[in-house]
Amino acid sequence: MGNYDLVFNKSVNEPDLFWAEAAGNIDWIKKWDKVLDDNNPPYYRWFQGGELNICYNAVDRHVENGLGDQNAIIWDSPVTDSKTKITYSELKEQVSLFAGVLKDQGVVKSDTVIIYMPMIPAALVAMLACARIGAIHSVVFGGFAANELAVRIDHAQPKIIVCASGAVEGKKVLQYKPLIDKAIELSKHKPEKCIVFQRPEVQAVLDKEYDLEWQEMMRIAEPADCVAVKATDPHYILYTSGTTGMPKGVMRDTGGHAVALHWSMKNVYNTEPGDVFWAASDVGWVVGHSYIVYAPLLAGCTTIVYEGKPVGTPDAGAFWRVISEYQVKVLFTAPTAFRAIKRDDPNGEFLKKYDLSKFKYLFLAGERLDSDTYHWATNLLKRPVIDHWWQTESGWPIVANCTGIEQFEIKPGSPTKPVPGYDVRVLDDEGNELPAGQEGNVVVKLPLPPGTLATLWKDDEKFKKSYMSTFPGYYETSDGGYVDEDGYVYIMGRMDDVINIAGHRLSTGAMEEVVSQHADVAECAVIGIHDNLKGQKPIGLVVLKGGVQTDAESIKTELAQMVRAQIGPIACYRETLIVSNLPKTRSGKILRATMRNIADGKDYKMPSTILDASVLDDITATFKLTGLTENRKNENS
């Protein structure tokens, strides 16, 4: 039995013992009475009776243990031509001062604070300052429109809003303060104050009664100490992207979150204190919460805060420069980022300019990692390219190649094996467990490990209905997939991306896997659209690599032949549309469901998280140009 098997078996068979040992690496103010409180399933609670402070564990204890002069944060902003290094001692000073600012404004333990900021160090300072005094932060991605922010204000009911004066995106400057003012005007709940961090590139006009300037408040603040927080107290609320109406606020508790994230840094990502870790994401998403802010700092690493893009700031060598300049050991980003780099620099010419000798691992998550991108990155970097799978709800990886325990051979298309703590199963629609190789609903047997969502903010019933009711005793991931005979998990996409062709259920993810293998395809999406004869049929949307000379019709024919050869005639894959870009959320997810509604001539709501609405307009125009949308409308009528 390998090391992984020993660790995994202990985690699912003796979870109390397993997580008690992991919790020993966190500093506790008061030790827990019970590791796992399972008296009220599915509302499980970890480290019942324990008390701690997550900010102390992420900042103060490293200073006390002699790491005060080590860099905690490196901020690199090519869009503003700025670079800053902040040591753990400096971070402690800034965080304790801003915690004092919040206290001066009446923020106390269990109050909520909304944070609306771009990728600047102040965002991390604000989050940690909330944790320092036991306040519950809800970070809203700096790009949500005023009405979406208003919905979150009404639901979270923050005492204070903390924001920046604006963001810099490429050559554009986005003013945040007018968005905040409009959101407050729209919301029923009125925050008492809005603290604005003024950026040199974009100054906000502070003319409201509730306005305060961050810099001025910091000058007069007294530092605040860490307060004791129960392990089961809420740490933060994070609203799932794309929510409309009453949002789903994922609530993470404090103790389990600290323990799980700290454990993951060594066991999943194989880091040590002092290593430089870079999650190229945004603090507004779960990846940013977990692996830009809390996990690296809990582990005593240096975290990179990057305000830029993988391409265009200034070129497709941006990631290589950051890795080289700061001696990054681990990069974690989305496959979308690497597809963009591959599209702009397919031969990896920019990589040749940089020294990546300290770089050990590339981790990818957020979208399915197609085989072509995997092989391209592997051949280019000559390092492990590790797909792993998790969700906003889980807060940390569910399936991964745990490099700190036992590094397995990589199978392209699989994020490898369940992470210890997650008892992953595959069930049919009736709840029966399926054998190896058979595709079904991917679920996790309860209890979920520490660090996962404890419930939904102010809505225990919705938590139960959304995740726990379809398959009693299991957490429903809403993803489909299978487990092979070696225990490797394959995630084929959301269950609503399974299409029904003449009674046969087929995965559009499997078709995407084939389409992405074409030499001229940079990225792709396959969606199922309505068909009067077969119920549904697949259609591919592909973005070609730069400089492709091949005739478009030839590519379409070749793709149809490839899908037929690898999946079979039953797939009925015949139509491909060549597009310039695919519509995505700001976190990199392709808007497949929205495109499906457009193709089927159905009404749809413009997703609040869309990166560039004009791309969706182009897709709509392409559908109309081909007669696709009109055909669907006629068929539906």
What is the C-alpha separation between 368 and 387, in angstroms, rounded?
A: 8
What are residue 521's DSSP bridge partners? 544
Contact 250/237 with Cβ under 8 angstroms? yes
Rounding to the nearest 10 degrees, give the CA dihedral for residues 443, 447, 448, 451: 170
Amino acid (1-letter code) at residue 71: N
Contact by Cβ (8 Å): 526, 513: no
Q: Return the pLDDT at 498.
A: 66
Rounded Cα distance, 456 and 37, in Å: 18
Comparing CA positions, the residue from 232, 174, 212, 176 lying closest to residue 47 is 232
Answer for the pair 395, 452: CB distance below 8 angstroms, yes or no.
Answer: yes
Beta-bridge partners for 77: 82
Give the alpha-carbon dihedral of 155, 158, 162, 166, to 10 degrees. 30
C-alpha 120/C-alpha 600 separation (Å) is 41
pLDDT along the chain (637 residues), means of 10: 91 97 98 97 97 98 98 97 98 98 97 97 98 97 81 95 93 91 96 97 95 97 98 95 63 98 98 97 93 98 96 95 98 90 93 96 88 92 96 96 96 95 94 93 97 96 93 94 96 71 66 89 90 79 87 91 79 90 81 84 76 85 73 44
Gap between the Cα atoms of 142 and 179, Å rounded? 10
Q: What's the Cα-to-Cα distance from 328 to each of 321, 362, 405, 448, rounded to whole Å?
A: 10, 10, 21, 32
Q: Name the residue with tokens 């606020």.
A: 249
C-alpha torsion sign, points 565, 568, 569, 571: negative
Handedness of CA 14, 17, 21, 24 (dihedral sign): positive
DSSP 270-291: ---TT-EEEE-S-TTSHHHIII
Two structure tokens written together for 432: 């029966």
Q: What are phi and psi of 58, to 5 degrees?
A: -90, -20
Give the per-residue SS3 of 535-596.
Answer: EEEEEEEEEECCCCCCCHHHHHHHHHHHHHHHCCHHHCCCEEEECCCCCEECCCCECHHHHH
Three-class SS string for 502-535? CCEEEEHHHHHHHHCCCCCEEEEEEEEEEECCCE
The pLDDT, as a whole number, for residue 508 is 82
Cα(67)–Cα(254) distance, integer angstroms: 24
pLDDT digits (tens, 9 = 90+) for 475-525: 999 888 999 999 999 998 776 666 767 555 577 877 888 898 899 999 999
With beta carbons less than 8 A apart as the criterion, state whether 336 and 367 touch.
yes
Question: Helix H segments across 327-467?
Answer: 335-344, 371-381, 460-463
**Separation of alpha carbons 493 and 506, rounded Å:** 11
Q: Which amino acid is at 377?
A: A
CA distance readout (Å), 596 to 369, 577, 599, 634 = 21, 13, 5, 16
Taken in order 251, 255, 259, 265, the sign of the CA dihedral is: positive
Distance CA 400, CA 415 (A): 5
What pLDDT score was predicted for residue 555? 93
Distance between CA atoms of 526 and 542, rounded to whole angstroms?
Answer: 9
Residue 603: how many other CB atoms lie within 10 Å: 6
Among residues 339, 344, 306, 309, the alpha carbon closest in space to that of 325 is found at: 306
Q: Which amino acid is at 58?
A: A
Phi, psi (deg, nearest 5) at residue 210:
-90, 0
Compute the distance between CA of residue 610 and CA of residue 586 in angstroms, rounded to an integer.
6
Helix (H, G, I), strand (E, B) or coil at 166: strand
Closest by CA position to 585, among listed 284, 236, 170: 284
Closest CA to 4 of 435, 481, 487, 415: 487
List, in order of start, the domains of the chain with CATH numbers: 87-227 (3.40.50.980), 502-636 (3.30.300.30)
Among candidate residues 243, 197, 190, the one with its CA nearest the CA of residue 217: 197
Residue 180 phi/psi, 5° resolution?
Answer: -60, -45
Please check whether residue 495 is in contact with residue 503, taking contact to mean a CB–CB distance below 8 angstroms: no
CB 397 within 8 Å of CB 365: yes
The Cα–Cα gap between 129 and 125 comes to 6
**R_g of the chain, CA atoms, integer Å:** 24
Give residue 230's pLDDT. Answer: 98
Q: 215-223 contacts: CB < 8 A, separation 24 or more?
A: 217/101, 217/104, 218/94, 218/97, 218/98, 218/101, 221/97, 221/98, 221/100, 221/101, 221/104, 222/97, 222/100, 222/104, 223/93, 223/96, 223/97, 223/99, 223/100
| 3 contacts 406 by C-beta, under 8 angstroms | yes
Residue of 536, 520, 519 whose CA lies nearest to 528: 536
Q: What does the pLDDT read at residue 190?
A: 97
Residues in the chain: 637
Tokens of 400: 């991964």
80 closest CA partner among 23, 29, 120: 120
- DSSP three-state, residue 14: coil
Q: How far is CA 171 from the centre of its chain?
A: 25
Q: What is the pTM of this model?
A: 0.83
Look up residue 456 and give its two tokens.
């939904």
Q: Which of 218, 214, 255, 248 is nearest to 233 (CA)?
A: 255
Closest CA to 424 of 488, 377, 362: 488
